[in-house]
């Protein structure tokens, strides 16, 4: 019976994981994230399977401590928090949970779009302070305008469905064009620069790769309409934070709705407050910029919760257990490399 360790476990996950694993696996539930602050015990170092969420930072130095590791069963789609090169070298499979939150994330992205364009949170904060000024809360309509969707995979396709339903014209940018999206939702595929220049709203739904790091930078923000809004529920590193801050502060674009940030873990992971020495110079710089973004009145920022619905979490847990069970039977599914 293989030993499995589940890291990053929330209270609401405990019952499901216990029930799913009881009698099938030797398992351990750990609420803490797996990172260089977590002190692995000797029995834990013998684990053949570990499972974690994106809040873990699984580096080579951490992976080297596991002597028998054969599988990392992610409870997420993203895997940029794992040292994939090391896993390839050592033959450690890394399996994710695809398609668990297509509707969930797309709905949240649209919620951010509505929030920032209609100044919902901004108005609520003012109301609590008894500051009522309609001139400060004037928003813009979505109907008839153009949304550019960068990345039209499963989540981007759902964003196209929602956008089409409220009367938005849709421009799309992706490596592959999908005929069904053209037919059902009138998606017009175009090149990246045209999308940037012509969109009133831009929503990011691409995975992070070496090729699209800082896809949105100073030059790209200067191409955007000054009335445009950008929404990011994908990965923070798709956007150059310094360039975004300058564009927002200087009103070169109208606003942003962000569920992800560069170095976001320094804002949300309490371990960084326990040992601030873990921060690199770069992460400190990003943290200062992220805090500055929080002070702008044309930005709404949430702590990476676009995935977080009861339905999506159940799908994540089910897929993770299915991946582990299949692996036990010698089957590899949802491997990311």
User: Is the separation of the CB atoms in 187 and 158 below 8 Å?
Assistant: no
235 is catalytic: yes
User: Is the separation of the CB atoms in 51 and 74 below 8 Å?
Assistant: yes
Give the CA dihedral 273, 279, 283, 289, nearest 10 degrees: 40
With a CB cutoff of 8 Å and minimum separation 6, the contacts of 143 are 166, 167, 168
User: Is the separation of the CB atoms in 206 and 236 below 8 Å?
Assistant: no
- Would you give the DSSP letter of residue 207? P
Q: Hey, is 4 helix, strand or coil? A: strand
Among residues 235, 237, 265, 315, the one annotated as catalytic is 235
Q: Which of 64, 4, 46, 1 is nearest to 29 (CA)?
A: 4
264 is catalytic: yes
Among residues 81, 178, 304, 315, the one annotated as catalytic is 304
Among residues 13, 262, 264, 265, the one annotated as catalytic is 264
Q: Which helix (H) or strand (E) holds 13?
A: helix 11-21
205 is catalytic: no
Which residues carry out catalysis?
Answer: 235, 264, 304
């Amino acid at each position: 019976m293989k030993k499995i360790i589940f890291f990053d476990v929330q209270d609401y996950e405990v019952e499901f994981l216990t029930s799913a694993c009881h009698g099938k696996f030797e398992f351990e539930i750990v609420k803490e994230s797996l990172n260089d602050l977590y002190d692995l015990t000797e029995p834990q170092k013998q684990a053949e399977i570990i499972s974690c969420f994106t809040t873990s930072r699984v580096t080579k130095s951490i992976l080297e401590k596991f002597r028998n590791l054969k599988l990392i069963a992610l409870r997420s789609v993203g895997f940029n928090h794992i040292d994939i090169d090391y896993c390839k070298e050592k033959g450690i499979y890394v399996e994710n949970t695809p398609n668990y939150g297509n509707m969930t994330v797309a709905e949240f992205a649209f919620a951010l779009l509505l929030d920032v364009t209609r100044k919902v949170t901004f108005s609520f904060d003012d109301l609590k302070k008894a500051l009522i000024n309609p001139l400060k809360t004037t928003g813009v309509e979505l109907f008839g305008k153009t949304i550019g969707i960068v990345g039209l995979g499963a989540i981007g396709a759902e964003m196209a469905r929602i956008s089409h339903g409220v009367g938005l014209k849709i421009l799309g940018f992706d490596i592959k064009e999908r005929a069904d999206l053209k037919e059902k939702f009138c998606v017009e595929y175009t090149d990246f620069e045209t999308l940037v220049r012509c969109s009133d709203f831009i929503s990011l739904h691409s995975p992070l790769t070496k090729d699209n790091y800082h896809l949105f930078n100073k030059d790209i923000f200067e191409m955007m309409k000054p009335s445009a809004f950008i929404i990011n529920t994908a990965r923070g590193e798709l956007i150059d934070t310094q360039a975004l801050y300058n564009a927002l502060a200087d009103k070169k674009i109208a606003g942003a709705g962000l569920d992800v940030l560069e170095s976001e873990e320094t804002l949300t992971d309490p371990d960084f407050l326990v040992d601030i020495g873990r921060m690199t110079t770069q992460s400190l710089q990003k943290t200062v910029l992220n805090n500055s973004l929080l002070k702008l009145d044309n930005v709404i920022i949430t702590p990476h919760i676009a995935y977080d619905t009861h339905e999506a979490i159940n799908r994540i847990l089910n897929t993770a257990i299915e991946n582990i069970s299949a692996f036990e039977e010698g089957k590899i599914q949802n491997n990311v490399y």
